[in-house]
Structure 1
Amino acid sequence: MNKAMIRTDKWPLQATAQQKELMRLTLHEYRAFCRAVSIIILNNWPALCQADIFCAATERLIHPTAKNPKTRHTYFQKRFYKFPSYLRRAVIEFAKGQVSSYLTRYAAWQRGERKSRTAKPPVFNADSGCYPAMYRGQLFKFNEDYTRAYLKLWDGKEWLWHEMGIKKVRQRHLQNTMQSPSLIVGKHCHLSVPFSIKKVSRPSSEHVCSVDVGINTLAVASIVSKNGTVAARRFFHPAADIDRRDKCCTLIRTKARKTAKLSQGFCSTLYRKVRHYNEHIAQTVSRQLVDFALEQGADVIVLENLKGWRPKAGAKRSSMKQRFHAWTHRRLATLIEQKFTEVGGKVVYVYARGTSSWAFDGSGRVKRNPKQHELATFASGKQYNADLNASYNIGARYWAWKLKLTHRKDGQLPADKSSAGKPRIPVTLSTLWNDSKGHRGARSPLSCAA
């Protein structure tokens, strides 16, 4: 049975200054209620955990009803006027998680699970950065075309409905199940709308989309089949956005050289712009890569496993070191996996070492041009794009694992029995060529020696 995925859309609200102030008052009231409830839950934790229904037991302590006219804590009735019942239950569930987390960490500290002998016990913090959950029909409503929103907000005296516009929406609400959104209040206000998306499966294909994420070219994608045929290839490099980001990095490096001691918050505005540029680049290129894979009918995207990788190139405080520091390879890989999984695809990671340094035709190691680093020279003298060469080898490593040509995770072929001491080159595109020849004629031993 396929389980549903949860994806969240951001729906910015077109609110007036007065409505934004009402949202801030609503957030302040919600968090104040959350602080008070968390203290009650912490003090009555053993009894509440033994109750049949945790939320109902907590409500009996703070909320008077016809069957429960006298509550133990009358503060809530006096302080929070007509607090919506749906918000009250959402607060209780959130505070339950906060208290449970604190007690778990405190119990671990008592057992001696500490980072150091002098580590202090964890402290319960009732101030949390929670946001109100807006339940449909009770706290928010939409019109038919999702251009207007109606939110129930606190104005300091009463909970009233307020109408405002929605700036933009995506297409997820047309085919998926909408869940309760959260009202996010900051400099700009928006609704964080989660959707339950059913997992779909794409038909198996004879092609995979292998992607090399690099410094010189942001991403190079190739469509590789299991017999070593490259059906399509494409370069993804948003030069304009990268130039804007690099210009900010240059300004940061220039200011740092003129400053004796860097203070906290140094060039915070420029760093914020760099982060936003990187996020925009990753979002744009990941969508283009997924669309390219879907156009070519690939059901698998193959990426290099660069998680935890730290570059050694570049001197300290050099432009090369800064380029590696601003590299978005992890964010790009995460977005590709999220977007491709949503449409039924699969993302596979392969071992990264050797994909760029070995020629795809099996001729051996390549030499990189020191002045034009994206240019690689093969042993035969042929010149080729290094990132494109790497994308071929990445796809070949996936097929070598899929076809069981190798069981090793480092991309190496099994040792040759006739020459056990002879070093073997890693899996390259020529590995698939040789295996395909062996299937067409008499099956010969797989050999990829230089």
Structure 2
Amino acid sequence: KWEDGGKHGRRPYLNRNQSTMPCFYRNNTFLDSEETNIVSLKLYNGKDWIWETFVVRDCDFMYAYNHMKAWKASAPVLTKRNHRYELRISYEMAGSKFQKYKKDKEVEAVIGVDLGVNTDAVCSVVHKDGTVTGQRFINHPVEKDRMYGLLNAIKKAQQNGNRKTPRLWRLANNYNEAIAVKTAVEIVRFAVESKVNVIVFEHLNMKKKKRGNKQKLSLWRKRDIQHRVEALAVRNGIRVSYICAVNTSRLAFDGSGKVIRGKDAGFNTYELCKFTTGKVYNCDLSASKNIGARFFIRVLLKSLSVKEELLVLAKVPELNRRTSCCLATLINAYAVLC
């Protein structure tokens, strides 16, 4: 194809270093036992194909035995990860399927999720009329304390001349990944308990210059959490949506205007904020309510006719600019329509 197209661009080549081998077909090149953690693979030792026996880790075997005993296992694949080989087996649910999200179903309630650096996630249950019926703070201080302790050890090692600390970095990254996994699980669990249809996130874009603690922002696994929530939400028939992140934390949810944070408000932390009315409130909690409200505002404006939209925009002028909308805007717009 490259030659027929006039040889434009770089000459294509075959990349053989994919670190992935062909799958092992059952009873032909792969043998296992459902009751024991011993598997056999037919491998080439340089002269002949022979059966080699391996022992699966007890934690992996017991997890598959307890949770996926009735599931259908596919043919395993041998993959190379770092300096070791792993046997990867995927499973398919037997006799049941995941719940599917119904597009025609009207959305009654959503969960607005504000991901943060200090607090992992703050969730609020927002209904289409602006009623807030639940909220939850998700944080993992134990993992964070251990990760920051490892980062401090890395810093001291680098000051003493040891520039490469792979073991400490591996441990720190593992704790950081554990925070992302636990946060995603807690978000989906709260969504299932609240019986909502949609989980709403901010569309976070960090391409601009980072301000503040750059190390914390670099280790912030915001997109990893969102991807994990998407994978877990599909299994429960829940949809994931994204809204613009501009002014979600800067505007108060009660419509009083911009908030004051940090030293300007007399606080030593950015977790708290002060409204123009003098009210002190958690900034992430206010942002989560605004996130859920903006989803319904977007759905509301799309469902209106031109005449109805002009009527609502005249009485609620904040709707003319989506980035200036908050929870109070949704309440006022719903009251006008009713």
Give the TM bin, normalised by the shorter chain: 0.7 to 0.9
**Residue 196 of structure 1, CA deviation:** 4.5
Larger displacement relative to structure 2 (329-338 or 355-364): 329-338
- Structure 2 residue 154 is the aligned partner of structure 1 residue 252: yes
d(CA) in 1 for partners of 2:122 and 2:234? 20
Aligned length: 316
d(CA) in 1 for partners of 2:126 and 2:207? 26
Counting aligned pairs with the same residue, the percent is 30
**Residue 291 of structure 1, CA deviation:** 1.0
Matched with 1:343 is 236
Matched with 1:362 is 255
Matched with 1:201 is 100
Aligned counterpart for 2:283 among listed residues 386, 389, 395: 386
- Say what the alpha-carbon RMSD is for the aligned residues: 3.4
The two structures have a TM-score, normalised by structure 2, of 0.80
Matched with 1:87 is none
Contact 1:153 1:162 in 2 (8 A): no
Contact 1:220 1:388 in 2 (8 A): yes
TM-aligned CA distance change 1:406 to 1:381, over 3 Å: farther
For 1:21-420, list aligned pairs within 5 A.
110-111=7-8, 113=9, 121=11, 123-145=13-35, 147-156=37-46, 157-160=48-51, 162=53, 164-165=55-56, 167=58, 168=60, 169-170=63-64, 173-174=68-69, 176-184=71-79, 189-196=85-92, 198-202=97-101, 204=105, 205-257=107-159, 266-310=164-208, 312-314=210-212, 320-370=213-263, 371-404=268-301
Contact 1:179 1:196 in 2 (8 A): yes
**Residue 202 of structure 1, CA deviation:** 4.5
TM-aligned CA distance change 1:430 to 1:280, over 3 Å: same
**Residue 327 of structure 1, CA deviation:** 0.8
Larger displacement relative to structure 2 (196-205 or 367-376): 196-205
TM-aligned CA distance change 1:127 to 1:224, over 3 Å: closer
Contact 1:148 1:166 in 2 (8 A): no
**Residue 433 of structure 1, CA deviation:** 1.4
d(CA) in 1 for partners of 2:13 and 2:289? 53
TM-aligned CA distance change 1:307 to 1:142, over 3 Å: farther
For 1:421-436, list aligned pairs within 5 A.
426-436=324-334
**Residue 257 of structure 1, CA deviation:** 4.8
TM-aligned CA distance change 1:395 to 1:176, over 3 Å: farther
Give structure 1 stretches of 5+ with no counterpart: 1-102, 115-120, 315-319, 408-412, 441-450
TM-aligned CA distance change 1:190 to 1:146, over 3 Å: farther
The two structures have a TM-score, normalised by structure 1, of 0.62
**Residue 332 of structure 1, CA deviation:** 0.9
Matched with 2:307 is none
TM-aligned CA distance change 1:185 to 1:416, over 3 Å: closer
**Residue 309 of structure 1, CA deviation:** 4.1
Give structure 2 stretches of 5+ with no counterpart: 305-309
Matched with 1:57 is none
d(CA) in 2 for partners of 1:243 and 1:194? 34
Instruction: Report Cα offsets for 1:427-447 as digits up to 9, x if no partner.
Output: 11112211232244xxxxxxx
TM-aligned CA distance change 1:364 to 1:247, over 3 Å: same
Instruction: Report Cα offsets for 1:382-418 as digits up to 9, x if no partner.
Output: 01000111100010111111222799xxxxx999559
